[in-house]
Each structure stands twice: as structure tokens, then as C-alpha cells.
Amino acid sequence: MNTPALTKLEMAIYLDHNATTPCDPRVVRAMLPYFGEVFANPANGLHPLGRQAARAVEAAREQVAALIGASAGEIVFTSGATESNHLAILGAAAYAPPSRRKVITCAVEHKAVLLPFKRLEAQGFAVTLLPVDADGRVLLAELERHLDERTFLVSIQAANNETGVLQPVREVAALAHQVGALCHTDAAQAVGKIPCDVEAWGIDLLSMSAHKLYGPKGIGALYVRGGARALPLRPLLEGGGQEAGVRAGTLNVPAIVGFGEACRICREELGAERARIQALRDRFERGLLAALPSARINAQGAPRLPNTSSLTVPGIEADALLLNLPEVMMGVGAACASGAVEPSHVLLAMGLSRKDAYATIRASLGRFNTEAEIDRAIVLIAERVLALRRGG
């Protein structure tokens, strides 16, 4: 029997894992029974199928909690990290006392954090946007300077989606707690790529998303220290009272099961996977810098995610490079804003010029990338950059 030839799309090298990851086949297998055989609503405990679905949800809740060092009762399922960020920020701020109407975040946060803060500002909160250094790390001295007894919430990401830079979350939380403020972190890019421990970090609220760690899209979670009844949150959605009353709606059982399985796999394989992917990322960077000596890696000396490389390549426009490079799938700036005309707010906050920001690509490697793919990507990128430079 003849084996069908691979299409160009199937042969393409996927280096955009910070935008989304492929669903691990083991995750897909775990989900399948809950689309058909065990399809019941887990809220209905009066019949066996409902109870079976409910047990699957709670088993997945345990798996998600275990990955971040939490207890199952501290996990609230949401549709993803964007909803988790909104629930954490807006839901907590709804209970801010009149004496604490000050909130703090930083300039390189994802828009899913910055926009809820804008909403709080419209509601009368004083919003402080902290600067970052040239590596994109928050300045702790600036945070300490702005913290006072009026501060209600500090939200600083665990890892940046564009550069991979890690923030000092533990230190941020400790400073926030010194003045009695809550601390939230958007950990969508960190969970599953590096060890994340809510107890060690001392964090109060943490957002995560399944599709960033080889799970399905449309499901995420918010960690709430002590559980949703211990740290009150005003629901964004109201209805049937699911998820301890803070997130109404019939639970997406197949996706929750997939999320749990993805977390189980990450917990078991994180050490070896992290080392392998970092070696691939370093190989990718060395090869490109050798082929394109004028290129530079943003925040190369800072602590970074093991899979992420932000490269500025003078003499090209990143979107033109990607359009002329269908064999390698990467990102330009933030994946969620890739269609925007304006350059990345993250790169500008780090001090890059608009011209350099437009010349920056992001490669984010993942579980299924190979050395052969990385070596081929280096050759293809370098060839296409040189061709674009020759063509102006």
C-alpha cells in the first residue's frame, strides 16, 4: 500500500507553542469516553452517569491541583486563563474595602490582565503600572516604593509570553503581603514548563490554561488560596451555582478530564522534558546567531522559560519574514495581538525601538519538536532573512 505524501502544512515546523500547543494524544484518549459513554451532567448526582461524571471532574481537579502544589478545593475551573485573570482581578476587587482602592501591575503583562486593570481604573481604583528593566523584569524597588496600606491587589505574571522572561513571583508576593495586599499571578505560560508551587511562591491567586500545556482549548483554572469561600470573589457568571458559586455553567467534563490528564503528564515528565526542550532552544539560538551575526536574543541573560526565544533580526520586518517562511511557524510579538499594526508593548517597555520591535520574531518550542526540525528551521530562517535583505 502506498503511503500518502505529507502536505506542505504537515511538513511545516511548529515553533509557536506559547500561542497554543497540540493536544497530546494521551489527553485525547482520556477525553473520548466523556463525549459519549459518560455524557451526563456532573451536577446530577441522582443517577449513576451523573455521579460518574462528577467523580471524573473531581479526579481531574486533584490532578490540576497537584501540578501547582495546591489542594483540590482551591481549584476553580474556568474557560481559560483569560477568564481566570478577569475573575481574579475583577472578582477580588469587587470586595475591596473603601480604604484599599489601589492596585498594581506591570507594563509587560498580557492584555488579559492589563484590560481588567483599565476597567478597575474606570471604577475609581488607582492603578499603578510598574516599569521593567531592559530584560523585561519588574523592578522590585519600584514595587516596594508604590506599595502602601491602600494597596488591595498586586498582579505580576509568572512568565512572559513573548520573551519567556520569568518574574520574581515569590519576592513580589512577599512584598505585597507586607502591606496586607493580595497577590495574583498569570501563570498561563509557566505552568507545565517550569516547576510552579503556590505554597513556595506564597501566591493568593493563580491563573492557568490547559491549551498551553498540551491539553484542550476552552478550559482553564483559577487557584484561590484556601478556596473560593475563604477568599471571596464576585462571579463573572451567575446561574446554577457551580464551582463553589463563583463560576456558573454546566461543567465541560471532557475538557476538564483532558486538562487533568495534561497536568498529570506534565507533573511526571516535567524534569526530563524541560531539559530536552531547553537544549533544543539553545541549539536553535546558537545556530541562528552563527548564521545571522547581527541578530540578538532579547533578555538572553535573564531567567527565561526553557522553550522561548525572542530574536531581533535587523534588516527585516518580522511579519514579512513569516509570510515568506510557510515552512516554519513562529510568532511576531504577542500571539494574541499578532494582527495589530502597533509594535509589541512588551518589547517597547523593555526599551526596544519601534523598528527593532517590528524586526523581532518569537520561537517557542515544545514537546514534539526534534533536533532535525530545529536544524532545518535554522537553515530556512537564515536563508529567508538573507533573501529578504537582498530584496530590500
The residues, any chain, with a CB within 8 Å of residue 161's CB and separated by 6 or more, are 18, 110, 188, 189, 334, 335
Confidence of residue 10 (pLDDT cuts 50, 70, 90): low
pLDDT per position as a tens digit, 53-70:
999 999 999 999 999 999
Q: Tell me the pairing of strands 182-186 and 205-209.
A: parallel
Handedness of CA 202, 77, 32, 10 (dihedral sign): negative
Structure-block grid coordinates of residue 134:
531592559
The segment(s) of the chain belonging to CATH 3.90.1150.10 are 8-22+270-391
Q: Tell me the pairing of strands 308-312 and 296-297.
A: antiparallel
pLDDT per position as a tens digit, 67-120:
999 999 999 999 999 999 999 999 999 999 999 999 999 999 999 999 999 999
Query: Class of 25-264 per CATH?
Result: alpha beta
Number of neighbours of residue 249 by Cβ within 10 angstroms: 14
Half-sphere exposure of 130 (CA within 13 A, CB side): 25
Structure-block grid coordinates of residue 184:
495574583
Angstrom distance (rounded) from CA 301 to CA 314: 20
* pLDDT tops 50 at residue 337: no
Judge whether 196 counts as a catalytic residue. no
Structure-block grid coordinates of residue 360:
523581532
In the chain, the amino acid numbered 248 is A
pLDDT per position as a tens digit, 251-308:
999 999 999 999 999 999 999 999 999 999 999 999 999 999 999 999 999 999 999 9
The residues, any chain, with a CB within 8 Å of residue 246's CB and separated by 6 or more, are 76, 87, 91, 228, 233, 235
CATH topology of domain 8-22+270-391: Aspartate Aminotransferase, domain 1 (3.90.1150)
Render 371-389 in DSSP notation, one character per residue: HHHHHHHHHHHHHHHHHHH
Q: What percent of the chain has pLDDT over 90?
A: 91
Angstrom distance (rounded) from CA 279 to CA 167: 22
User: Is residue 157 a contact partner of residue 187, using CB atoms and an 8 Å limit?
Assistant: yes
User: Is residue 143 a contact partner of residue 170, using CB atoms and an 8 Å limit?
Assistant: no
In the chain, the amino acid numbered 351 is G
pLDDT per position as a tens digit, 190-208:
999 999 999 999 999 999 9
The segment(s) of the chain belonging to CATH 3.40.640.10 are 25-264
Angstrom distance (rounded) from CA 340 to CA 321: 16
User: Is residue 308 a contact partner of residue 163, using CB atoms and an 8 Å limit?
Assistant: yes
* pLDDT tops 70 at residue 334: no
pLDDT of residue 18: 97
Residues making up the chain, counted from first to last: 392
Helix (H) or strand (E) holding 282: helix 253-291
Percent composition of the chain: helix, strand, coil (DSSP 3-state, to 5): 45, 15, 40
pLDDT per position as a tens digit, 354-388:
999 999 999 999 999 999 999 999 999 999 999 99
Q: Tell me the pairing of strands 102-106 and 126-130.
A: parallel
pTM of this structure: 0.95
User: Is residue 274 a contact partner of residue 306, using CB atoms and an 8 Å limit?
Assistant: yes
